[in-house]
């Protein structure tokens, strides 16, 4: 899992939202110990520190960092795989990854 692409982690978080609701997904992934329990339940074995850290970082990015800069991620399944896109919360318009990165640098 340490080599897992961000798209797969966002997909995992989306599945958690579908199964447990937004609040449940946040509760299961933001806290490192809750994240460890969730991964152990999902994977069937005790996850490594790297696995817990990676999933926890993805959750913090999606549920804390992006909303602070007015962005929400969306996952689309395409014929060639999954694609993460970003939307401006205020306008609802799609924005590029470059715009997201610029907002992090110059909030």
Contact 87, 79 (CB under 8 A): no
The residues with which 94 forms a beta bridge, in sequence order, are 87
5 confidence band (pLDDT: 50, 70, 90): low
- Convert 12-50 to b/e letters by CB count within 10 Å (16 or more is b): bbbebbeeeeeeebbebbeeeeebbebbeeeeeeebeee
Q: What is the pTM of this model?
A: 0.77
Query: Tens digit of pLDDT for each residue in 78-107?
Result: 898 778 889 999 999 999 989 988 988 886
Residue extents of the structural domains in the chain: 6-105
- Does residue 72 register a pLDDT over 70? yes
Query: Tens digit of pLDDT for each residue in 25-44?
Result: 999 999 999 999 999 999 99
């Amino acid at each position: 899992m340490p080599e897992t692409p961000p798209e797969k982690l966002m997909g995992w978080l989306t599945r958690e939202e579908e199964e447990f609701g937004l609040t449940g997904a946040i509760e299961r992934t933001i806290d490192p110990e809750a994240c460890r329990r969730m991964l152990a339940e999902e994977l069937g074995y005790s996850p490594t520190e790297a696995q817990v850290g990676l999933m926890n970082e993805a959750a913090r990015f999606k549920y804390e960092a992006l909303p602070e800069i007015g962005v929400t991620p969306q996952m689309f399944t395409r014929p060639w795989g999954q694609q993460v896109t970003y939307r401006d919360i205020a306008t609802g318009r799609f924005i590029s990854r470059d715009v997201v990165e610029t907002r992090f640098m110059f909030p």
